[in-house]
Structure formats: C-alpha cells, structure tokens
Amino acid sequence: MSSISFARISCSSCYIGDCSCSVTECSSGTVYIYSTGDCSGSPDQSYTFSRNEFSWQPSSTKYYVIGLCDNGDTSDCTSVQVGTSTPTTTTTTTTKNPCPINYDCCVSEISYENKLCGTDETCSKDHKCVSTKEGGGSSIVLIVFLIVVLIATGVAYFFIIKKRQPKGGYEELYAKWRR
C-alpha cells in the first residue's frame, strides 16, 4: 500500500488489556488494527478517534496500525509492541527518628519527624522557636515615656523660668496711671 503519509501513530504505553496511542498531524479519523504486517485486508479491530488520541485493549503482543484521517491524510503501517503486564509501582517507606530533645522544633527534616512550634512562632534554622508577632508593646511604653517627659519639661519651664522673672507688667501700669 503506497501513499503519501502525513499522520503518525505512536503507542508508547501498551500492555495487554490497556493501550493508549496518539496520532500526530491528524485530529480525528479512524484507526485500523491488524495482526499481520502489511495492514491490508479486513482489520482485526477499528476505532474512531478524536483529539489526536485513542485507547484500545490488545489481547496479544504484536499489532500493526494504520490511521485514516477525516481530512484525507493517512499514516504509515506502524508496528505496535504490546507488553505482557502493566508496570508495577513500588513504594519505599522511610522511618524517621524523633526530633532530638535539645531542639525546640524540627520542620521538613529528612531524618527527623516534625516537631512544630506553638501559635505565632516559626522554626528557625538552628531549631529554635522564634515569635512571629510584632514587638508593639515596647513602642507603646516609649511613646508614654516621651509624653510624660514633655509634660514634665513644660511644667518645669513654667515654674522655673517664669517665676524668676521680676513682676513688673501690671504693677508698672498701675503705678503709671496712679500718678
């Protein structure tokens, strides 16, 4: 079967009972699956596909596929190797030691369990709990102290400076008008 091929079929994850394939340069059409290598005659299976992909359930280890796109393009006859079993996933569990007693906290440590700080605290690099609250209390004390000092300075100015000045303003005026 000779034709100009534009579309390509790729089946990268195929196992008995589960195979997902993608079709490039072709968004929709029909794919024909054969058990022989020339992709001719009656197909063993056929599937319509859209969005450049299709899934199927192979029952043996070797197939050949060809795609006929809705826009008239075709793919080459492509061989698909099917695995006999799905891959297994292994999980490794690592046991972590408790956070050392001389540490206030442990967070995201590789070898220690998490030991968290209290509310409004964060764990520093040297494993100490540090407050995240702003130190607003000391600034209020400073403001009150400054107000008291200003009031005391004003009172001292009035009693020390004003009381030392000789009387004269009212008495001089009274004496002038009395004459």
- Looking at the predicted structure, is the pLDDT value of residue 50 above 80? yes
CA-CA distance, 3 to 32, in Å (whole number)? 16
How much is the pLDDT for 170?
A: 64
Q: Residue 50 gets which letter from DSSP?
A: B
User: Residue 127: pLDDT band by 50, 70, 90 thresholds?
Assistant: confident
Residues 14 and 63 in one domain: yes
**Radius of gyration over every alpha carbon of the chain, rounded to an integer in angstroms:** 45
- Report residue 21 as tokens: 């394939």
Residues 127 and 162 in one domain: no
Q: What is the mean pLDDT of residues 40-63?
A: 89
pTM, entire model = 0.46
Q: What is the mean pLDDT of residues 6-15?
A: 85
Assess if residue 57 is contained within a domain. yes
Q: Classify strands 78-81 and 53-56 as parallel, antiparallel or unpaired.
A: unpaired
By CB neighbour count within 10 A (0-12 exposed, 13-18 middle, 19+ buried), where does 127 fall?
middle
Work out the widest C-alpha separation in the chain, in whole angstroms. 144
- Looking at the predicted structure, is the pLDDT value of residue 107 above 60? yes
Q: Into how many domains does the chain fold? A: 3
Percentage of the chain lying above the pLDDT 90 cut? 12
- Report residue 56 as tokens: 């199927």
Find residue 69's DSSP bridge partners. Answer: 29
CA-CA distance, 74 to 45, in Å (whole number)? 17
Q: What is the mean pLDDT of residues 131-139?
A: 66
For 15, the domain range is: 5-81
CA-CA distance, 81 to 78, in Å (whole number)? 10
How much is the pLDDT for 32?
A: 94
How much is the pLDDT for 149?
A: 93
Assess if residue 50 is contained within a domain. yes
Assess if residue 115 is contained within a domain. yes
How much is the pLDDT for 166?
A: 57
Residues 45 and 10 in one domain: yes
- Measure Cα distances from 165 to 81, 85, 148 in Å: 112, 109, 26
Assess if residue 86 is contained within a domain. no
Residues 77 and 95 in one domain: no
CB 64 within 8 A of CB 33: yes
How much is the pLDDT for 112?
A: 74
Assess if residue 46 is contained within a domain. yes
For the chain, first and last CA: distance in Å?
141
Assess if residue 165 is contained within a domain. yes
User: Residue 30: pLDDT band by 50, 70, 90 thresholds?
Assistant: very high
